Structure 1
Amino acid sequence: MQVLNTKFVTIILALIFFGGSKGEKHPLHVSTTEVNFNAKDKTLEVSCRIFSDDFEAILAKTYKQKTDLSNAAMKVAMDNLIKKYITTHLQLKTNGKPVTMVYVGFEIDHEATNIYLEVDKITAVKSLEVSDTILYDMFDDQMSIVHLVKGTTRKSTKILYPDKTFTANF
Structure 2
Amino acid sequence: MQAIYSKLLLVSLIFTCFLPATSVKESKHPLHVSTTEINFNSKEKSLEISCRIFTDDFENVLTKSYNVKTDLNKPSMQKAMDELIKKYLTAHLQYNVNGKTVNATYVGFEKDQEATNVYLEIGNITSLQKLSINNTILYDLFDDQMNILHVEKGGIRKSVRANYPSNALVVNF
Scaled by the length of structure 2, the TM-score of the pair is 0.88
Q: Does 1:90 align with 2:86?
A: no
Report how far residue 82 of structure 1 moved.
0.2
Residue 31 (structure 1) aligned with residue 34 (structure 2): yes
Match of 2:77 among 63, 74, 78: 74
Aligned to 2:48: 45
Matched, 1:114 2:110: no
1:122-166 CA distance string (max 9 Å, x none)? 101111111100000110000001111111111101210000011
Q: CA RMSD in A?
A: 2.0
Percentage of matched positions with identical amino acids = 55
Secondary structure of the 1:59 match is helix
**Deviation above 3 Å: which 4+ runs of structure 1?**
10-17
| In structure 2, distance between residues paired with 1:74 and 1:125 | 37
User: TM-score with structure 1 length normalisation?
Assistant: 0.89
Which stretches in structure 2 are left out of the alignment for 5+ residues? 17-24
Give the Cα separation in 2 of the matches to 1:89 and 1:150.
24
Give 1:14 deviation, angstroms: 8.1
Cα offsets for 1:42-86 (capped at 9, x unmatched): 000011000000000000011010000000000000000000001
How many residue pairs match? The answer is 163
Q: What is the CA–CA distance in structure 1 between the aligned matches of 2:4 and 2:95, rounded to whole Å?
A: 26
Give the gaps of 5 or more residues in structure 1: none
Q: What SS does structure 2 have at the residue aligned with 1:50? A: strand
- Specify whether residues 68 and 14 from structure 1 end up closer, same or farther in structure 2 by C-alpha distance, changes over 3 A only: farther
Q: Which amino acid aligns with 1:49?
A: R
The structure that has the greater radius of gyration is 2
